[in-house]
Chains A and B, each alone.
Chain A
């Protein structure tokens, strides 16, 4: 089982590095979850994008991200940001080394990400659509139209 899960990650990593991230990412969905007091809060795609690109936004939430080599991040890049990972990395190098803004903190796994958001009010993160969400977190956006 462990071997299987490893090899699945390996395949994903190879596919990502071969650059087929975009087409692969199209087949998956993600949802954006936040730790907020008001469970009625919904964000549109632009608001999510602004939060994760360090732009001004009407909602004051702290974004937390996954590492570049993960499939979930590739899905987020493709479906929400609309830029390739390489372009996003260039963007952040420009922002960081010109002292304007810095990229969101990263957690290495979805589990760590969820437990971080669970215990920190005012944080927001994206996770695979099929992940179970703790009841006190709010799904503020989903790429799955159903």
Chain B
């Protein structure tokens, strides 16, 4: 059954690739291109799920197909739209990007509209699996944020000096929509999102990236908000505040990558700081190395997420009355459920570039970490989690 599905989807994908490759030139003014991926995953622990993967083989968590249309109004003025169809329940299908881009010279570019937030090296191409070596980029960085789009403007300035060429991008915008995690959607407001990204390239082999982002955020967690309001009505403001997902965050990022004909090395580090108890301060990084045996690349990645634990509020007295004790336990339980936990992983992956626009990947990741909001979720009616699990994944990635 699964095999038939895989065959059908693969067949459709191959057909799409062969029909359209390379980028179709519908006319001089309109360019249609796209990308897609079929990803299968299996988690070997029956007691938990990770990024919606369980101990049942699933093809739907990360598989997707996207079309991009670039319409050139003038030589230097382009409208771009990217439509994405996603098979996961956690992701909405629809318009991912819609922006106007104006490039008065090769050194300047202005974009305005709906764009992807460029948090880390691959954040704005997280759906384009063809663009990166892994099937799942290190979750310690790439799933630790709540939204991935913004509506706003972006300005890019490129420059070069000697062997070094670089670009600086500044952007400003807002996000008003839903974010989904643990299979539920929550209304989210991001305001005053401002960021700056520096990308440098030395020869074409050594790349460095540094970025800084800040924003005001507000997330309505519904039943948690209701409980927080209840606590406030009893006068337990400290406890109530600690269950509010509202405040400011800052993200710092540094990345370096070296690519040659025979091997590659990459590392990224990020730190999230927030003034909200529910959004903990996090430091994550990964180190990755790969050997190229054309057309196959074999790689090993170590990634780590260190969470600075938040302290629960202590203004609800314990042992005074059964009602208060119930409130106390309710608060402690909800607080514990909203905490993130440390996560370590070691990933071994193989990428086979079967042709210049199709790649096949296989990957196994060994995770170590406790239950937490962006890591392992307990499954109902199952046993205790021993805080370690392996995720096996297979993927086909294509661009056209």
- Spell out A's residues near B (CB within 8 Å): 17, 19-22, 46, 49-50, 53, 55-58, 60, 67-69, 78, 81-87, 89-91, 93-94, 96-100, 106
Contact = CB atoms under 8 A, between A and B. Distances in A.
A93 B131 contact: yes
Interface stretch (B10-18, B44-52, B157-165, B299-307): B157-165
B338 to A, nearest CB: 32
Contacts of A60: 106
A58 B99 CA distance: 28
B128 A56 contact: no
Contacts of B128: 93-94, 97
Given A85-B356, A86-B295, A89-B357, A56 B160 contact: yes
Nearest to B105: A60
Contacts of B131: 90-91, 93-94, 97
A49 B33 CA distance: 25
By DSSP majority rule, is chain B's interface helix, strand, loop, or mixed? strand
Given A49-B204, A81-B204, A94-B131, A56 B294 contact: no
Nearest to A89: B356
B33 A96 contact: yes
A17 B160 CA distance: 35
Interface stretch (B115-123, B232-240, B272-280, B373-381): B115-123
Nearest to B293: A19
B185 interface: no
Contacts of B355: 17
B281 interface: no
A20 to B, nearest CB: 7
A100 B108 CA distance: 11
A82 B132 CA distance: 18
Contact of B203 (A21, A49, A69, A96): A49
24 contacts: A17-B295, A19-B293, A19-B296, A46-B162, A53-B204, A56-B106, A56-B160, A56-B166, A57-B160, A58-B160, A68-B356, A69-B356, A82-B260, A82-B261, A84-B261, A84-B294, A85-B353, A86-B351, A86-B359, A87-B259, A89-B356, A90-B131, A97-B125, A97-B128
A96 B35 CA distance: 11
A46 B163 contact: yes
A20 B297 CA distance: 14
B264 to A, nearest CB: 8
B204 A94 contact: no
Given A94-B125, A98-B124, 20 more contacts: A19-B295, A19-B296, A46-B163, A53-B201, A56-B107, A57-B165, A60-B106, A67-B22, A68-B356, A84-B294, A86-B294, A86-B351, A86-B356, A94-B122, A94-B131, A94-B132, A97-B68, A97-B125, A98-B118, A99-B97
Contacts of B107: 56
A19 B115 contact: no
Contacts of B204: 49-50, 53, 55, 81-83
A60 B106 CA distance: 8
A69 B122 CA distance: 27
